[in-house]
Amino acid sequence: MKRFGSKQLIPIAMALMGVVFVVVGFTQLGFWDKEPKAGFFPSIIAVVMVISSVAAFFLTLKAQYNKNELLVIAGGAGVIAGSFIIGMIPMIFLYVLFWLLVIEKGTPILHIIIIEAIVAVIVLGVFAGWLQVQFPWGLFENFM
């Protein structure tokens, strides 16, 4: 067995974060009352996050980092940091745009527009509108 390190800390941190979101989703946001409440989707995702984090913890005991994993970690950290600065919704659109332009090089502009429109419908229509997920707005919080 390898020594305990950052590869194991990430699943533990994600599991703890998932537990926090489960508690907040069920206690503060509400889960279900004749229809889904604001905590419905975050609670379900948080439960999946806890389960997958526990599984990932055991898988990391034999694994080593590779370049693609570090890019995913950096991308997640960038989205989280950007969410505190410009807000979650603008950061989602910027992340998808960055991914399509830089990582998926050569994506036609029409495809980028269509994908961003689909992301807008999903994020704004389903999550913000229907499920009433409360996204952080970063520095724009006072203007919304």
Q: Burial, 22: exposed, middle or buried (Cβ in 10 Å; 0-12, 13-18, 19+)?
A: buried
Would you state the pLDDT for residue 46?
92
CB under 8 Å to 57, separation ≥6 — which residues?
8, 11, 12, 15
d(CA 31, CA 37): 5
Report whether pLDDT(49) > 60: yes
List pLDDT tens digits, range 95-122. 999 989 988 888 899 999 999 999 999 9
Percent of the chain with pLDDT over 90: 32
Answering whether pTM is above 0.85, one says: no
